[in-house]
Structure formats: C-alpha cells, structure tokens
Amino acid sequence: MNIYDIAQRSGVSIATVSRVLNGGKNVSQKTREKVLSVMQEEAYTPNAFARGLGLNTMKMVGILCTDVSDTFYAKALSLVEGNLRRHGFDVLLCCTGSQLEDKKKYLELLLQKRVDAVVLIGSAFQENTDNSHIGAASKQVPVVIINGLVELPNVYCVLCDEKEALTRNVELLYRQGSRRILYLYDTLTYSGCQKLAGYREGWRSCGLPEEDLLAVQVNKNLEEVRSKVKSLLENGESFDAVLASEDLLAVGAQKALAGRGLTLPIIGFNNSVLAQCASPSLSSVDNMLDTLCPTAVNLLMDLLDGKPAPHKILLSAQLTERETFRMDSTPHV
C-alpha cells in the first residue's frame, strides 16, 4: 500500500496525497477529507524511508550516552527523550561506555543514520582532551551537550555550575568546622574535572594548606569505594568530612564510616534516588537536570528552526539537605 494506491482510490494525483500527508496546506477541504478517509480505510502508513529520502530527515535525534544504567544518566536520558518526543522527534539511542574510542565509533554510526542532531550525555571531556569526534559531528548537525562544555562552532552546552557547587560545599563544611575533607571522584569527564577543580578552589578560598588536599579517585562501584575508604581509615588517613562527585561514592564512604562507628558530614552529588535511600539519608547537590534537560531540548529546537541560540547556558546547582549534612546544624568543632 503506497501513495499511488491511495491516489487512485481517492481519485486524485499522488501530489495531492502527498500534500495531505504533509499538513494538507493547498488542498481543498473536500479532497483532504476524501483522501484522509481512504487512508483510514486502507490503514495506510507512509513509508518513513521514502519520506526521509524526500525530506532529507526522519525527525530523529541521536543521543550518545555513556551508561544508561547509571541513575544520573538515565534520568537525563529520560528527560531529554520525553522533551524531544513532545516536539515530534524520535530518539536513536547509543550507549557508549566510557571508552573514548567507542564514543567516536558510535557517534559516527548515529550520523550515518542521518539524525537531525546529536545530544551528548556524559560524553564530553575536559578542554585539553581529544574531542575531535564532537568537532566532526558538529560539522554535520548541531550538537548539544548536557552537563559538559566544549567550545566549538556548532556545539551548544547546557550545564550547571558544578565547580561552584563543590567550592561552596567545601566552604560550608569548613564553616562548620571541617578542616580535612575527603573528596571522592571517579571519571574525569568535563563534569568530573570541574568538580575536582571546585574542590581545590574551595580549599584555597578557605585558606587551608594545599598539602592537606585529599582527593581520591575510585571506580563507581559500591564495594570498591567502601573498601577503598576503609583502607584509608585503616592506614590512619584522617579526615573529618566527605564530599563525592557522585552519590554512589558517598554512600560507599558512608558505609565504610558506619563500619567503624563514625558519623561525619557527607555530601553527595547528583541528588539521585540513592541519596534518598541511604541511611542516614544523604545530602546531595542537585544539578538541576529537571530544568537543564528541557532547556537543552528547547535550545535544540530553536537551532533546528534556524533561530540563533546561546552556546552556553549555565545554571546554578542546589544543595538538597538531608540527614548527613545540614547547613543550619551546629558546627561540630
């Protein structure tokens, strides 16, 4: 069943059928209704490939996502997908894992499917790293980066100020008496670097001695984190508060501390469901995905409509206070 059949059965030409298919502008009320009713009867569905060939678009956006099973990325994906769909776009999903080579390869695959744009979730790295794949992609279609920053012509970034958030966290803890704050982090994506820099910056602004910095890299795996922190404690490493680049890492630390009967202020990051589920519940920085993702999609729609758009939209993060840290609690020193 194709456009010719419909044309024949409704006594018009294929051009008219096509017009009805594309919004029905320049078609008389009468013929449109006739054609539509025939389509209905015959349960006709236009062939998306032919459509794509003629229009040079299938209204699909590619999403490159490091790891969908990660709660944070999953939430971002969910929000971006929902908003794109609202605008009539379908999502071609590609989970890359953290390997740069895979990201490159898969990004090319997305482009081969002729997506109208690409959204990157957790796939942008720090400035001095190889972001050539992003550059290449941006020459073909607009690229929108969620929570990352890459400064290139056709690349648009929507992110929240994670560096500032971490600096603030350090300062808050300092004000409540902490003097040696453990910082746990995992991957050094753009976001990861910003957070680490924010931790250092906070340290500096509090006038703490540089040699006391205690930033420890770990894998995003609960058991590994717990045992890492446990061994820190066993080796006599002293610290009086914990920050983390990710809730899971914070929970791992929490468990290690609990195992030794310790209760320190802890602040996680991403404000995921893990933070709620932890006991005691985990204070966490919310990086505003709920506003960041719709913003990103709106920006993308503007771009696809040929409207100008800012290359960078920066939101502020917000601390969600729970049991492991409260701003108004009595200083603990």
Least CB distance to a second copy at residue 56 (A) = 8
In whole angstroms, what is the distance from residue 333 CA to residue 150 CA?
42
Rounded to 5 degrees, what angle do the CA atoms 226, 270, 298 make? 155
State which of residues 11, 82, 177, 259 lies at the interface with DNA (CB under 7 A). Answer: 11
Asked if omega into 280 is within 30° of 0 (cis), the reply is yes
State which of residues 37, 41, 42, 47 lies at the interface with DNA (CB under 7 A). Answer: 47
Q: Does 53 bind DNA (CB under 7 A)?
A: yes
Q: Does 132 bind DNA (CB under 7 A)?
A: no
Nearer to DNA, 1 or 258 (CB): 1
Q: Which residue matches tokens 């003629």?
A: 54
State which of residues 8, 28, 291, 318 lies at the interface with DNA (CB under 7 A). Answer: 28
Nearer to DNA, 50 or 258 (CB): 50
Q: Does 37 bind DNA (CB under 7 A)?
A: no
Which tokens sit at 52? Answer: 């794509």
At residue 39, what is the residue type? M
Of 19-27, 60-68, 161-169, 172-180, the window that binds a second copy (rule: CB under 8 A) is: 60-68
State which of residues 21, 36, 91, 215 lies at the interface with a second copy (CB under 8 A). Answer: 91
Q: Does 49 bind a second copy (CB under 8 A)?
A: yes
Radius of gyration of the chain (CA): 25
State which of residues 4, 8, 101, 113 lies at the interface with a second copy (CB under 8 A). Answer: 113
Chain residues binding a second copy by CB under 8 A are 45-50, 52-53, 56, 58, 60, 63, 67-71, 74-75, 77-79, 81-82, 85, 90-95, 106, 109-114, 222-223, 248, 251, 254-255, 258, 273-274, 276-279
Chain residues binding DNA by CB under 7 A are 2-4, 11-19, 21-22, 26-31, 46-47, 50-51, 53-55
